[in-house]
Amino acid sequence: MSVRISPSILSADFVNLERDLGRISDADLVHVDVMDNHFVPNLTLGLPIVQRIQEVSALPLDVHLMIDDPDTWAPKYAETGAFSVTFSAEAAADPKKLARDIRSTGSRVAVAVKPGTAIEPWLDMLDDLDMILVMTVEPGFGGQSFIEAAMPKLAAARRAVDASGLDVWLEVDGGINEQTIVTAVRNGADTLVAGSAVYGKADGPTPNERIAALRRA
């Protein structure tokens, strides 16, 4: 089975983003982590930078919002031309309306669930979603260890998506490497985010070579 790889630029060099985007040309998507220092205890980048990444990236943008009030902000990220915008389940006030607002821009819409968040309510609104992101770390930082306890949730999502016949992607984010990608795919993931595994080390294989290694695994 072929999977989609979405390298997270959280582990890239923010001062050399355009250069580092060029180093992942073999990826399927580019994962952009937006953090507001409220929903998560870390701050990354906002709308103007996502807009510029959109303008220079050859790859479709997989925007992952870890911010409060996605009902207001997520549609604005979608309007940059992002391929996909993911809001955090725990932060959304009116998820159905939010999903419609994002889709009305032409962007795909996804919901992310933290390791401790139940997935069942979201499986009841698969029609409104293009992707579900199962977090395998607590959101906020790259380089953390994969939380295997999230796998039953992923497997439940896989069963629900297959039963629905809908084209809903299942993404996993956090701690993905050549070992954990096998576990995630076995449990139903088709789209894999990897930050430190792609950009983490300055020496050794290039980011494109690390992407190839993830696919082989």
Whole-number Cα distances in Å, 157 to 45, 62, 112, 126, 164:
30, 20, 12, 10, 10
How many CB atoms are located within 10 Å of the residue 26 CB? Answer: 16
Q: Which of residues 98-127 bind ligand DX5 (CB under 6 A)?
A: none
Residues in a beta bridge with 207: none
Amino acid at 205: P
Q: Is residue 210 near Zn ion by the rule CB under 5 A?
A: no
User: Is residue 33 among the annotated active site residues?
Assistant: yes
Q: Which residue has the tokens 């701050």?
A: 43
Q: Which of ligand DX5, Zn ion, none binds 210 (CB below 5-8 Å, type-dependent)?
A: none
Q: Give me the catalytic one of 33, 62, 128, 190.
A: 33
Phi, psi of 159 (to 5 degrees): -65, -45
As beta bridge partners, residue 173 has 135
Of the candidate residues 80, 195, 207, 210, the single one contacting ligand DX5 (CB under 6 A): 195
SS3 content of the chain, % helix, strand, coil (to 5): 40, 20, 40
Tell me how far, at minimum, the Cβ of 89 lies from ligand DX5, in Å: 14
Contact call for residue 173 and ligand DX5 (CB under 6 A):
yes
Binding residues for Zn ion, rule CB under 5 A, total 3
Q: Minimum distance from CB of 112 to ligand DX5 (Å)?
A: 8
Question: Read out DSSP for 94-127?
Answer: SHHHHHHHHHTTT-EEEEEE-TTS--HHHHTTGG
Is 7 a binder of ligand DX5 (CB under 6 A)? Answer: no
Q: Which of residues 152-181 bind Zn ion (CB under 5 A)?
A: 173
Q: Please answer whether residues 61 and 8 qualify as being in contact, where contact means their C-beta atoms are separated by less than 8 angstroms.
A: no
Pick between residue 115 and residue 127 the one whose CB is nearest to Zn ion.
115
Closest CB to ligand DX5 among 64 and 108? 64
Where along the sequence are the contacts to ligand DX5 (CB under 6 A)?
8, 10-11, 31, 33, 64, 137, 139-144, 173-176, 193-197
Q: Give the annotated binding-site residues.
A: 8, 31, 33, 64, 140-143, 173-175, 195-196
* Catalytic residue numbers, as ranges: 33, 173
Where along the sequence are the contacts to Zn ion (CB under 5 A)?
33, 64, 173
